[in-house]
Amino acid sequence: MRTNVNVVVIPMCSTRLPEENLEYLTAKLETLSLSESTLVCLPEAWLAFCKDGQESLEVSKTASLWQAKLSLLCQTQKIWLAAGTMPIYAGDGRYHAASCLFNTAGELVTTYNKIHLFDADVADSAKRYRESEFTQSGNEIQVVDSPFGRLGLSVCYDVRFPGLYQQQRDQGADILLVPSAFTTVTGRAHWLPLLQARAIETQCFVIAAAQVGKHENGRETYGHSVIISPWGDVLANSKLSLQPIQQHIDLNEIDKIRAAMPVLTHNRFKSNYL
């Protein structure tokens, strides 16, 4: 018999300065007064929402400093932390968009490097996005054990590629983490449908922490951080608010849905993602 687990999602409108964003995160956590084991989830680019890839590259060279600060924060607050993404230097003038998962002892449980890079043209103020110019794509799927079930890590643009999540489901994922910084244009059109589809087809909970609002670099992000059930129901939605959302989720719901509709055993197409 599995249990209810506590999940907190912290939306952010991150600035370009890591110290400001860490201070914001610390202050938000202190207002929550958490008294039980909790998984806290942050958005993509939570540490620094930079003006361009070159600025992110410079931040990436200080990644160990910020990882150490997060480790201490997890020990102090007694939380598991899915730390959205932060740039981590990969060498040769490139960085990984890295999603780091820490436990309550401050240990780095795993790091997922974003696989799918956002090279697209969007009808917004930025017009052109070319993430691959400075970002080194990852190539390893990450599904790890935790007190909150098995967690499958992904980032933002990954959500458009269902094969990744089918592979995570094959590896026993219970909860899919999708930290994001969706544009307002693509967010209005696709954000919720994509997340609900990933939840329904994998029969997993989906937790998607999002950037929200107008950023000092000129970009505007869609927000709507959400927690979605394995049936596709939106259990919590921050919409355009910066207030954290919190939800107790019943992991037994996963087993009930999968027993009633065993799509994994019915699937006649073997996952072969990477």
Angle at which helix 18-32 crosses helix 63-77, to 10 degrees, equals 10
Bridging pattern class, strands 226-228 and 234-237: antiparallel
Our answer to whether residue 44 is catalytic in this structure is yes
* From 100, 156, 204, 220, the catalytic residue: 156
Compute CA distances 203 → 40, 148, 151, 193, whole Å.
21, 16, 13, 15
8 forms beta bridges with: 40, 246
Contact 170, 271 (CB under 8 A): yes
DSSP state of 125: S
DSSP state of 263: H
212 forms beta bridges with: 222
Contact 151, 174 (CB under 8 A): yes
* From 44, 50, 74, 131, the catalytic residue: 44
Our answer to whether residue 127 is catalytic in this structure is no
Compute CA distances 116 → 33, 64, 138, 157, whole Å.
36, 24, 8, 6
Our answer to whether residue 114 is catalytic in this structure is yes
Biggest alpha carbon–alpha carbon distance for the chain: 50
Question: Could you tell me where the beta strands, DSSP code E, fall in 21-79?
Answer: 38-41
* From 114, 131, 204, 220, the catalytic residue: 114
Which two three-digit tokens encode residue 85? 């993404």
Q: Which residues are identified as catalytic?
A: 44, 114, 156
